Amino acid sequence: METNNLLAPLFFVLIRLMGGAILKFGLKKMPLPYTVGLFAFGLLIGTFDRIGWLESIPILKSSIDFAGNANPDMILYIFLPILIFDAAYELDVHIFRKTLTNATILSVPGVIIAMLLTAALMIGIGTFAPSYEGWNWTFALMFGALISATDPVAIVALLKELGTSKRFSTLVDAESMLNDGTGIVLFMLFFGAYTATGVSDSPVADFIMVVAGGALVGTLLAYLCIQFITNVNGDEMLQNSVMILSAYMTFVIAQNYLEVSGVIALVGFGLTVSYMGRLRLKPQVNKFMRQFWELAAHIANTLIFIIVGVVIALKVDFSWMDLLILICVYAGINIIRILIITIFYPIMKRSGYGLSVRESTILSWGGLRGALGLTMALMVSYTFSIPEPIRRQVLFLTAGIVTLTLTINATTIGWLLKKLGLAEIPSSKLLLDYSVKKQLYEGSEKYLKDLKQKEALEATDWSIVEQFLPQKEIYPEMPVRTKDVMADIRLRILDRERSLYWSLYTNGVISSGTQRRLNAAIDEQYDRDGKKPLCDRGDIFEFCEEPSWIISMKFFSRFFQKWADIYYQDRIILGYDLARGLIIAQKESLKLVNEFGSSETVSTEYESCLSLLQVEIRKNITRASNFITKISIDYPKSYKEAVTRKSVRMLLSNEKKRIEQFKEQGLISQEEAEQMVNELGERHNKVFTSYQFLK
């Protein structure tokens, strides 16, 4: 039995991950979300344990008991950092900035108002239900704080499954992460009355300090992490280790030692690392980071929803009166959520990307509660200075709200999305998808004909081979407007551009600063949903024009003139990189448009649309080419250095590719390849030192 207790945590993890894998496979063709299935699975096995059906399997019973009696801090410190950092790291920083105002409105004043209204609801219930008459405002506000914040664990996982638009999912992601931090801070303000921390004399000031302090700590630790990984650029294993450890340490240091919001700190850390750090990491490290956090988030989601189900099944006791009150509280928090979004809707519809009525409906119904609220309720249930009836009722109500939002809201939100038309695939996208798949089918069919002509394959049973051809697509019979097709093709072109800029950066053709500026121009295009011409990117070369203040400084002294020349020379080099990157990307975009044009469907019905896109792309090429010609004439020295630096980067990039080829061919060992790449990295860094060329 003692051995079983020691193995219980490991057995729980292994069995639940295996069960999660089987469940995910089984739910592929069912409308039930994976996270809801995990929760139901946890409820089921927890119920089996509670009624004594697992007594004959001691190791299984021990593992379920371990999960059911898990310390709340385990969820807070082990699982939450994974899910928060993964969500923050994957956020599109540009979209996040645009949605930050709306997310902040919902996560600060929205949560505070929800907390107050929920507390008032509980006080009202206490006047009618004798078993709840022990609730005072401190208990009510504490419960209101832990139940008002939507849970990032639940909502982020669900949105990834439903595949909602990036703008809307970013808003919900941002709100759920930020109000998670707000909810914890508000909860601790009132929960502190029954712990060693006590009640704060100035809760408003403490709230501001904890939230702002969390953001500051996360950002500062991210900068320290980025500086460190930049200095160890040659050691991929060390870079990966530092990134993973830093995410956890940020949460622990902020939450446990500095007593500021660990969640807000982790959001700041993840966003800063995503925006500033990606370009300083090696491509292999970025790939590993993406795969590692995706796997870690999957494991955390799988375990945490099963644990939530098990805890509810083992620990919750209730009466019929409790059940009736739960239904009232569930209805109340949904009405409060709708009321808050209604109050702030006039502001939110004008902020950032705005908010439509349909999106606000989904936002109202998508206020799921999950592991985080239950974790705080468990903290209450383990605090014996709180009266026992209050502890039991807080745990029951929280568990009930989690159960109802996951089984009702989460299972119906997909239907609601489709009903409101937010999950529909645009007809223009269907047409273009048909065009791509038609070309794929025709290419495979042509290749099959070539195979049939090969003498070495005469014995092939071609009737069997033909069964492996891709399925022939059916033309989508629906009205499609030309401007919709044009917008959709523009978005695909922008996607290809973004991918190409990353490739150009990793191959040394453009610098990190150039890549960031080119992507910023793409972001502005995305904001218009493809309705803005590809050549309308503002004056992207404006920063290269010599400012009047620099011209004025040259008249003061030779020192100022030299400093101004150095400052401006950097701008010319960056401008050259930008122009070259833009030209390469636009030439690839022309190829993409021509690929669409090669399909009979698109070329015959939308030939004028494709011609206009070609004109837009050629304008970008002409503009960039003219800029290069201008700087080569007006600033020959800067132009020469820019071209020289580019040539050096390309030379070193080619050498790195050769080293990778030698390693794959077995001509050199892994250790030798790493040593050669490290030495190459030292030479590469010299490209960015100040003016070693042309002195």
Angstrom distance (rounded) from CA 535 to CA 526: 13
CB-based contact 580:647 (threshold 8 Å): no
Angstrom distance (rounded) from CA 692 to CA 694: 7
Q: Which two tokens stand for residue 500?
A: 């190409």
- The label of the residue with tokens 């079983």 reads 4
Q: Which two tokens stand for residue 273?
A: 């690392």
Q: Which of 69, 80, 253, 306 is nearest to 181 (CA)?
A: 80
Angstrom distance (rounded) from CA 569 to CA 473: 54
Task: Please count the CA atoms within 13 angstroms of the CA of 524 that sit on its side-chain side.
Answer: 13
233 DSSP 8-state letter: T
H or E element that contains 365 = helix 357-365
509 DSSP 8-state letter: S
Q: What pLDDT score was predicted for residue 219?
A: 92
| Phi-psi group of 530: left, alpha or beta (phi > 0 → left; psi -120 to 50 → alpha; rest → beta) | left
Residue 155: helix, strand or coil by DSSP? helix
Q: What pLDDT score was predicted for residue 155?
A: 60
26 CB contacts (<8 Å, ≥6 apart)? 37
Could you give the residue ranges of the DSSP H alpha helices within 598-669?
A: 600-605, 607-634, 636-664
CA distances (Å), 368 to each of 158, 409, 413, 442, in order? 10, 7, 10, 46
Amino acid in position 177? M
Could you give the residue ranges of the DSSP H alpha helices within 91-202?
A: 93-107, 109-128, 137-148, 152-162, 166-191
Rounded to whole angstroms, the maximal C-alpha distance in the chain is 92
Q: Which of 156, 267, 270 is nearest to 214 (CA)?
A: 267
What Rg, from alpha-carbon coordinates, does the chain have? Answer: 29
Angstrom distance (rounded) from CA 650 to CA 633: 24
58 DSSP 8-state letter: H
Q: Which two tokens stand for residue 103?
A: 């997310």
CA distances (Å), 145 to each of 111, 157, 182, 420, 648, in order? 8, 22, 9, 31, 58
DSSP secondary structure, 526-594, as one string: HTTTT-S-TT----TTGGGSPPHHHHHHTTT-HHHHHHHHHHHHHHHHHHHHHHHHHHHHHHHHHHHHH
Q: Which two tokens stand for residue 252?
A: 């622990």
CB-based contact 316:50 (threshold 8 Å): no
Tens digit of each residue's pLDDT (9 = 90 or more) over 319-353: 888 899 999 999 999 999 999 999 999 999 888 88
Angstrom distance (rounded) from CA 320 to CA 398: 16
Residue 44 burial (10 A CB sphere; 0-12, 13-18, 19+): middle
CB-based contact 576:515 (threshold 8 Å): no
CA distances (Å), 452 to each of 153, 461, 506, in order? 54, 10, 41
Angstrom distance (rounded) from CA 356 to CA 157: 23
Q: Which two tokens stand for residue 309?
A: 């189900």
Tens digit of each residue's pLDDT (9 = 90 or more) over 253-288: 998 888 888 888 998 998 888 888 777 776 677 778
Q: How far is CA 177 from the centre of its chain?
A: 11
Q: Which two tokens stand for residue 379?
A: 């903290």
Q: What pLDDT score was predicted for residue 606?
A: 67
Q: What pLDDT score was predicted for residue 692?
A: 44
Q: How far is CA 130 from the centre of its chain?
A: 46
Q: What pLDDT score was predicted for residue 60?
A: 81
Positions of the chain with pLDDT under 50? 1-3, 603, 690-695
Residues belonging to the chain? 695
Angstrom distance (rounded) from CA 461 to CA 96: 55
Q: Which of 619, 616, 615, 640 is nearest to 628 (CA)?
A: 640
Q: What pLDDT score was predicted for residue 694?
A: 40
Q: Which two tokens stand for residue 469?
A: 């051809």
- CA-CA-CA-CA torsion for 16, 19, 21, 25, nearest 10 degrees? -160
Could you give the residue ranges of the DSSP H alpha helices within 382-456?
A: 388-404, 410-419, 427-452
- The label of the residue with tokens 């950002």 reads 219
Q: Quick count: other Cβ atoms within 10 Å of Cβ 384?
A: 9
Structure pTM? 0.79
508 CB contacts (<8 Å, ≥6 apart)? 646, 649, 650, 652, 653, 684
Phi/psi at 460 (nearest 5 deg)? Answer: -65, 140
Q: What pLDDT score was predicted for residue 690?
A: 42
